[in-house]
Amino acid sequence: MNAIDTFDAGVFRRIAGRRSLDPRLPMDIAACRPHVVVLGELILDGWWSGSIDRLCREAPVPVFDVLNREYSPGGGANTAVNLAALGAKVSLLGLIGDDDGGRLLRRLLTEAGVGTRGVITVPGLRTQSKTRLSSEDQLLLRFDDGARRRAGTAETLLLGQAQGEMVAVAREVLPDSRAVVVCDYGQELLPLGLASELRSWAPQNPMFVVDAHDASRWAPLEPDLVTPNAAEAARLAGRDVETDRRVDWAREVAPIILSRTRSRNVVVTLDREGTVLVESAGAAEGAAQAHRTWAHPVPNKQASGGGDTFVAALTVAAASGLPLRLSADLAQVAADVAVHRPGTAVCSLRDLSDRLSDIPGKVVDPGTLMREVSVARAHGLRIVLTNGVFDVLHRGHTSYLEQAKELGDVLVVAVNGDESTRRLKGEGRPVNRLEDRTALLASLRCVDYITVFHSDTPIPLIEALRPDVYAKGGDYQAGSLEEAPVVERCGGRVVILDYVPDYSTSAVVRRIKSRR
């Protein structure tokens, strides 16, 4: 039974109707089960842990005693494994060596449910591997093995034959695919000539995603999406990364990347700062058309493959019918799951569902908030605090909350209780009760924690939390805030954000009343 037979058009339409991160989405994707083809350069990731407690006799260097060896599919193989874990039917196309590493990689892929008929063994080629050594949770060294393409006549002939076998399988599996992901890391093992031919082999016009060190190499494919990281985006745009404003920089260089890669859309991945999606339809209209996703960074240096998880989740979501922006939001959640785990981690549908179901956990009492912030601060993360009533959530609120998030790593929103709101705003307020106000805020990806305070000012909370940044909307002035000296005394700084004119809860309420 092929992917067309198993694809449920009714489920596809239901998924396409989603407009928010619903915990039911992963199960809908499972029912949809889109067929995704991965054309990739394949890597075997090794994670060796051990101890160091003596020096070598031969030289003054430490001796690493290996205690445990673990291996995982990496590179394009990791993308394929994540796709399978996220509910896709996966056909993998790539080359491996006729060696122990290649045989192990094939076995791991098969166990993960990835179709490996298009994984071709090349005699004389060493399988690319990346092995990390760590001791007591500290990464010490990574050593890479495996040759790139070699120039010898015999090797070139064998490689050409293997690529021919891979192309033959591609012709068979592409016709019923709903998405194709190209994972090109510069090993020079993928035949670039396919770039101008792949679309002609896929009559269903699947989504083509290029995740490459140099996506311009695949411009003849005219991909639907390219996913460079910051360094790759800089090379494509010919502009150095502006490290103090990477998000704005990504928005600015996106049109150049779209032009160079001939892609319809681009997502620039920025690690702890999330991602920036720019769709070609809105690129000419300026940076305001960009869509930002928010990461939940971790200090764990032993995590690898978060980008592969992001690409896999975005692809399977879009192939199942989700709008691209919502697919990017879902992919960010999946990447957050992966980077919170050691090694080359994978996010499954169950992981994704559990994380989405945890959204109400954003609303915490002050005691829980202090514990969570203490852990975040111990890991070097910056804490941003803002507060307000948030009675009728509008564009002014969402704009300034997104700006506030950009000032640090963890955004805490303190919300006035109902009685506090009534004292502050007068009778008839709040329009929406506290539970509704906090639930709406919890649905925003830029918000990490929400807590409620019942005093007339947030000063007690500021003194307890000691935020690195205290942010307020542009309708305030720092000199008029009685909280300002308290923030500064606690070692933080006050930031007044941009004002969005004509947007306020009072104005919204007046407009509603005037139309009765």
Q: Please tell me the distance from the alpha carbon of residue 422 to that of residue 123, in angstroms, as a whole number.
A: 76
**Which residues are within 8 A (CB) of 363 and not within 5 positions of it... i.e. 6 or more apart?**
438, 439, 442, 450, 451, 452
Q: If residue 514 lies in a helix (H) or strand (E), which one and from where to where?
A: helix 505-514
Q: Please tell me the distance from the alpha carbon of residue 295 to that of residue 313, in angstroms, as a whole number.
A: 15
DSSP, residue by residue, 409-444: SEEEEEEE-HHHHHHHH-TT--SS-HHHHHHHHHT-
Q: Please tell me the distance from the alpha carbon of residue 170 to that of residue 232, in angstroms, as a whole number.
A: 27
DSSP, residue by residue, 31-92: HH--EEEEEE-EEEEEEEEEEEEEE-SSSS-EEEEEEEEEEEEEEHHHHHHHHHHTT-EEEE
Q: Which of 246, 244, 202, 250 minimizes the C-alpha distance to 222?
A: 202
Burial of 226 (0-12, 13-18, 19+ CB in 10 A): buried
* Contact assessment for residue 403 and residue 446, using Cβ atoms and an 8 Å cutoff: no
308 assigned to active site: yes
Torsion sign across C-alpha atoms 372, 373, 375, 376 = positive
| Residue 96 falls in which region: left (phi positive, over 0), alpha (psi -120 to 50) or beta | beta
Query: Which of 45, 308, 329, 448 does the annotation list as catalytic?
Result: 308
Active site residues: 308
